[in-house]
Chain A
Amino acid sequence: MNVKNVKRVTIKPNIWDLLYIPAIIGGLSITFKHLFKKHITLEYPDEKWFPPPGYRGAIRLNRDELGREKCVACEMCATACPANAISMQGGAAPWDDREKYPIWYKIDMLRCILCGMCEEACPEEAIELTVIYDFADYTRESLIWDKERLLKNYDLTKDGNYYKRQLEENKKR
């Protein structure tokens, strides 16, 4: 690479620039204009941010048409998970259309890095990431989500209006 061609430009300030006052007044007028501009603040608990499609938030376990979990306890997701967040125990399914189902299924949301690998790996489309971004909690135990909690996430987000509903609840209060 030839760096010799770099041209140095020195701008010599003229008297007008050296006074600084015109420049200061220019700056002041810019900040003054901003006083009346539209605010971009999102007043968070009152207003909600709607994540764009493809957003990777909290995880859910999908249900099938009959309301049962789709998961067949194949452990593909647990294998794929780079954070080792998923654990489960498979057992003989009580239904005829599949052999196995998860007796218990847990995701440690403290370990989960929301990478979406589980969703990619799942052959049954049984696990998915949702739009939920505000699932902070007070204890570590409550952030280890079991099957019921994950299925509940599905019920909350299946219509895609999770935050819209929250907003309406806010308004009612």
Chain B
Amino acid sequence: MTQTGNIILDVVIIVIKIVIVLGVNLTIVAYLTLAERRVSAFMQDRLGPNRVGPAGLLQPIADGIKFFTKEEIIPAQSSKLIYLMAPSFVLFPAFLTYAVIPVGPTFSAWGYSFQMEIANLNIGILYILALTSFVVYGVVLAGWSSNSKYPLIGGLRSAAQMISYELPLGLSIIGVLMIVGSLRLSEIVNFQTHLLWGFLPRWNVVLQPLGFLIFLIAAFAESNRLPFDMAEAEPELVGGYHTEYGSMKFASFMLGEYAGMITSAALMTTLFFGGWDFPWVNESALGVWGILLAVIAFSLKTGFFLFLYLWVRWTLPRFRYDQLMRLGWKILLPLALVNIVVTAIVMAFLA
């Protein structure tokens, strides 16, 4: 094949991948909003929304119609440009992060090697961390531009919270990166496909249990979910940074939040639970079935973490603000540092 032909083929395949990934993720986001309400209802012995379509399955569509047809209200005292821009700051980074997450092993067919991610970046994990920290701008700007007290308090809180928790979040990953020796997500997953002592899947959660725990907590805080949703805190702040938002602008925040949940669930899977790896099976040797198995394994693991998000939300009460800060700075940060040091010492002895 000619050089240009190759490039065109590449572009076409990437566009197809983008469409698939975006489509799948938007669907999951939509149904996550429904799942949240249904799961919360079940946990409280209620039924939840079950009247639109069979078992309430069309509820997200009804919600979408409602959001789109609602009146657009822009507060008179707001800074209009920033006010209108803020939701996109939350929404787009959350969706961009999916580009580097591998959902299956690389495989070749018809002399072409397919990668099961949109972009196989050599700094994949840094790319994700950089984009997720963008979300804080959206939240702060939304709080600021609304020109109203509750959003401002919510925005300030979440700025402090997200910046504090970014530290333990980043540091907790370093242990993994030291072991694997690469920032490329596909290599991190490949590393985990092997077995430890012949029977245990060499998932990073086995090697880095403390790192995983810190990452889990920090990820909850990063995505502004209960028990760390200081930015919203309905009982005290009326809804926090999005108090003044309505219709589709509000929906963008919600979509962004749920998309962020998917990102961190996928990231937890990729970094600590072997990504697409189905333990004790060599996916690459199984051809198409291997790919399918890998994708299913990845979806199941990510699905579990998404469920964990909902599950924790309806179990734990909200932290107080000072407790939140104490947990972040006085407990998680030192623990993350200890984790790095211990990892380094153990690796030095094993080397």
Contacts and interface: CB of A to CB of B under 8 A. Distances in A.
B43 A41 contact: no
B312 interface: yes
B47 A28 contact: no
Contact of A31 (B46, B47, B314): B314
A32 interface: yes
Contacts of A30: 315
Given A34-B42, A35-B42, A24 B47 contact: no
Contacts of A9: none
Range, interface on chain B: 10 to 19
Given A28-B315, A41-B46, 20 more contacts: A21-B213, A24-B315, A27-B315, A27-B316, A28-B311, A28-B312, A31-B311, A34-B42, A34-B43, A34-B44, A35-B39, A35-B42, A35-B43, A38-B45, A39-B42, A39-B46, A40-B45, A40-B46, A41-B45, A41-B47
Interface of A is mostly: helix
A113 B25 CA distance: 53
Interface string A12-33: 0000000001001001101110
Interface of A: 21, 24, 27-28, 30-32, 34-35, 37-41, 43
Contacts of B213: 21
B349 to A, nearest CB: 27
Given A34-B42, A35-B39, A35-B42, A43 B47 contact: yes
B311 A32 contact: yes
Nearest to B327: A20
Contacts of B41: 39, 41
B172 to A, nearest CB: 16
Contacts of A41: 41, 45-47
A31 B315 contact: yes
Nearest to A24: B316
